[in-house]
Amino acid sequence: MGRQRKRVVTGDAPPHSRRDERPAAFNRKEKKKKTDIGKLFINISIGLCIFSLIWFFYAIYMRSSLSKRVVTLHPSPRVLDANSTTAEVSSERFWGSYRPQVYFGMKTRSPRSVVTGMMWMRQFSNLDMNLRHTCEQGDHLQGYSWLMHDGLTFGVQEIRDNDFTLTTEFVKRIGGDHGGDWTWRITAKQHSSAPQPPVISLMFYAAADMQGLLHTHMEERHRLASITGFSEELGNFKITFRKPVTGELSSTKYASYNYLQTLSPGLEKLTDIVKLSLNRRFVYSPPSGEKRHYIGVDTYKPPHHQNQQKPADPRKESDFVVHQVTVQTPFQIEVLFESGSFYNRPNQLVGSIMTQELERRKAEFNVKFEKIFGLESKGFSQTHIKFAKAALSNMLGGMGYFYGESVVQSVYNEYPILYPEGALFTAVPSRSFFPRGFLWDEGFHQLLLSKWDPQLTREAIGHWFDLMNIEGWIPREQILGDEARSKVPAEFIVQRNENANPPTLFLALEELIGQLSSRSDEAASKPTLPFLQRLFPRLKTWFQWYNTTQTGPKPNSYRWRGRDKDTNLYLNPKTLTSGLDDYPRASHPSADERHVDLHCWMALSSGIMASIAQLLGEPHEDYKLLHDVLRDNNLLNDLHWSEQLHAFSDYGNHTQNVSLQREKVYVTPGQPRHQFPVARLVRSVRRAPKLQYVNALGYVSLFPFLLQILQPDSPKLEHILRDMRDPNKLWTPFGLRSLSKTDPLYMERNTEHDPPYWRGPVWININYLAVRALYHYGNTGGPYQEKAADVYKELRTNIINNVYTQYVETGYIWEQYNDSTGRGQGSHPFTGWSSLTVLMMAEHY
């Protein structure tokens, strides 16, 4: 066989197909397949883009919608009719001392009221400027207090300045279509220690707040005799300034007069306008004394700021008028307001007529006070009774009517926004420091006021619930209007809708229900049932808001939202929302926390919800079921009983090994000393936190006892009574201290600038709850009944004696009391919940 020849392929000959080569038809299929896949990817991409756009715009819509919810009011009918505070519907309450932030003033319960008030200053003193107007702790008055105030028709207040006392009295007379008349009487007397009778300037004013016109009427060249005016709500009116006299029947005293007539940009500017108008060019020239220059109101020129863009005020008519009278003590002056629609007025409410009316109202007040509180029958001295009347009167005289917009923010709002305009009729904690509404304070306020005037309580609660938004949230601090806002530091103005406050209004509602049950035939209690029917839709939403937004990590546990997030500067991050501010909680805020006080508030609230629902014939079973679950002592023990502390406790991510230390700062070599960075106090954590009980013994530990969740035979009650009575823990001769002396944070600062607040001092609201609970357990059968009754007598006596003693010694009821000395401290006067001392005196729980 020969060799096989190699085959040569020319260029024209088709090549042999290789085994791995594919036919052309297959390639066309593959190309088509690739094209189909490409189209599929394109279609998917387009679909995704369309979906993304839809989702994007839906998210924008939802965010916009959710961002509006925080400022969307609740859709149910208002608890109070829109005209409920008008002169036509509520003439008795139309005018009142509803300006608690000033020493003396009156206004109507309407959004844009004509306001009246008084300023004063001592002439020829060492101080260039001692003008008094808004209540200020920095004025260092010896005291100012309503001695009597019935909340409706009259009030008597005593203001003790350095060397003289002003007694301010007012009486109202109902008549006509616009709330009737009222008269002020100001009596000035020098102190016995004053070397000579002081000369005082009183400045009475009226401001229309851009809602009306004011016209001045002069006599004897410089004396403003009266103001006439008109507003839509008041019609025509006249304010008459009578001349000063020594006494009711005596002749006119020598006085110098000034007046100011100008425009006001807002009520918060009234003090500044008067200050900027003062001039020393006037001469005080009594017939039997030397001539001296004194300070008086003159012309007012608004200050011009260099970059001011605000246009000139177009108004031509004055809306702010001041009448100044400068006179030597002693003297008495009356100011008379007369409504133009009061046609059948029997006489003017001045002189002896006013005295008769005032004495009649005082007598009625005294009779009513004894009928309600019975302090004489309990053996209290007249000085103790006078103190108790002042405590009640200061709360009534501290009722304010506010109107404006809160500043709020939710997680869906990039910036704070304005809440809808609204009105609030509420008591205030402190006329000097907290002259505005606080949600958890108000529940305590109304415990006292509901005993005196249930209608006032219904109206106050109705106003609070009419401020609720669609979610069921009520802003916990109400800063309504520029005048109120001017008294608040910027960091506290914005209210956030995830933040709660203890629902103490349920305590006041419980009191109203109790009155309805025991005195259903009395006229004062009859309106409560229809009031609850109007309130109930909002009350349900409010309760549901708490029960969904403040839940804890375990079933039937609860956690306060809104704790401070900056753990670097706080020794223990504050929980302002709980009302107990710097009381020790878990050192490292987290979603794992369980708060025992909130658990107890929810147990109390669910029980009251069940009672109200049953009373109204509404479904109540769910509320009753939740109440039974939350007040189950076994659940409470499982969630909050610390065997280590033998007390109820919060639970969370916690360590006790923390302290404040001065931070180390780097200084560049050669840097001038005045440019050194400030070394702050910052928190040092010496041991990592872990999930555990917080083990801080104090007010929070007592809540199952305070709100009477504990069964009378619970062994835990024995531990609580023992800790309460231990002087090394909570017991003091002045009341229960807020935090045990054995706690590491007892009386420790929370930051460089925050002294201890709820870390030792005695607070009257919690002590009231303690006395109330002791009264309950001391009158309920159980192994600890006798012990509870003994502690009740001691604690009640200690609190009453100390609050009374401090009032006599200092002239004030205080925000809190030193646990070592009993001295009053904090803001003053604090005639909010510290006035609950009256209920302890009366043993009304």
Average pLDDT of 446-461?
98
How much is the pLDDT for 305? Answer: 63
Smallest CA-to-CA distance from 692 within 592, 567, 570 is with 592
Smallest CA-to-CA distance from 535 within 445, 625, 457, 602 is with 457
How much is the pLDDT for 310? Answer: 56
- Rounded to the nearest 10°, the torsion over CA 810, 813, 817, 818 is -10
The burial of 389, by beta-carbon neighbours within 10 Å (0-12 exposed, 13-18 middle, 19 or more buried), is given as buried
What is the percent of the chain with per-residue pLDDT over 90, rounded to a whole number?
78
Query: Residue 61 half-sphere exposure, CB side, CA atoms within 13 Å?
Result: 6
- Rounded CA-CA distance 674/661 in Å is 22
- Rounded CA-CA distance 778/785 in Å is 5
Residue entry with tokens 């939740």: 626
List, for residues 147-198, the tens digit of each pLDDT value: 999 999 999 999 999 999 999 999 999 999 999 999 999 999 999 877 889 9
Q: Which tokens is 91 given?
A: 């003439």
List, for residues 742-787, the tens digit of each pLDDT value: 999 999 999 988 999 999 999 999 999 999 999 999 999 999 999 9
- What does each C-alpha distance from 415 to 229, 406, 410, 496, 567 come to in angstroms? 42, 14, 9, 11, 23
Q: Which tokens is 499 given?
A: 């933040």
- Rounded CA-CA distance 437/98 in Å is 13
Rank 199-208, 284-293, 304-313 by mean pLDDT and report only the highest.
199-208
Q: Measured at the alpha carbon of residue 511, what is the angle toward residues 509 and 517, in degrees to the nearest 5?
A: 105
How much is the pLDDT for 317? Answer: 61
- Its pTM surpasses 0.85: yes
Q: Answer for the pair 232, 249: CB distance below 8 angstroms, yes or no.
A: no
Q: How many CB atoms are located within 10 Å of the residue 111 CB? A: 17
Active site residues: 581, 815
How much is the pLDDT for 308? Answer: 56
List, for residues 515-540, the tens digit of each pLDDT value: 998 886 778 788 999 999 999 999 99
How much is the pLDDT for 61? Answer: 63
Lowest mean pLDDT among 183-192, 307-316, 388-397: 307-316
How much is the pLDDT for 36? Answer: 73
Query: Residue 71 half-sphere exposure, CB side, CA atoms within 13 Å?
Result: 18
Smallest CA-to-CA distance from 464 within 489, 427, 511 is with 427
Phi and psi, residue 103, nearest 5°: -65, -40
- Rounded CA-CA distance 71/468 in Å is 9
Average pLDDT of 232-241?
94
Whether pLDDT at 798 is above 90: yes
Whether pLDDT at 5 is above 60: no
Whether pLDDT at 7 is above 50: no
The burial of 805, by beta-carbon neighbours within 10 Å (0-12 exposed, 13-18 middle, 19 or more buried), is given as middle
Residues 6+ apart with CB under 8 A from 555: none
Phi and psi, residue 527, nearest 5°: -70, -5
How much is the pLDDT for 195? Answer: 82
How much is the pLDDT for 70? Answer: 95
Query: Higher pLDDT residue, 807 or 301?
Result: 807
Q: Answer for the pair 397, 159: CB distance below 8 angstroms, yes or no.
A: no
Whether pLDDT at 675 is above 90: no
Residues 6+ apart with CB under 8 A from 211: 112, 113, 114, 231, 232, 233
How much is the pLDDT for 681? Answer: 87
Whether pLDDT at 816 is above 60: yes
How much is the pLDDT for 6? Answer: 40
How much is the pLDDT for 203? Answer: 98
Residues 6+ apart with CB under 8 A from 600: 703, 704, 706, 707, 709
Q: Which tokens is 444 given?
A: 């305590």
Whether pLDDT at 100 is above 90: yes
Whether pLDDT at 22 is above 60: no
- Rounded CA-CA distance 760/456 in Å is 34
Q: Which tokens is 226 given?
A: 């009266």
How much is the pLDDT for 3? Answer: 41
List, for residues 642-663, the tens digit of each pLDDT value: 999 999 999 999 999 999 998 8
Computed over every residue of the chain, the mean pLDDT equals: 91
Q: How many CB atoms are located within 10 Å of the residue 491 CB? A: 6
The burial of 376, by beta-carbon neighbours within 10 Å (0-12 exposed, 13-18 middle, 19 or more buried), is given as middle
Asked whether the bond before 330 is cis by omega within 30 degrees of 0, the reply is: yes
List, for residues 264-289, the tens digit of each pLDDT value: 888 999 999 999 999 999 999 998 88
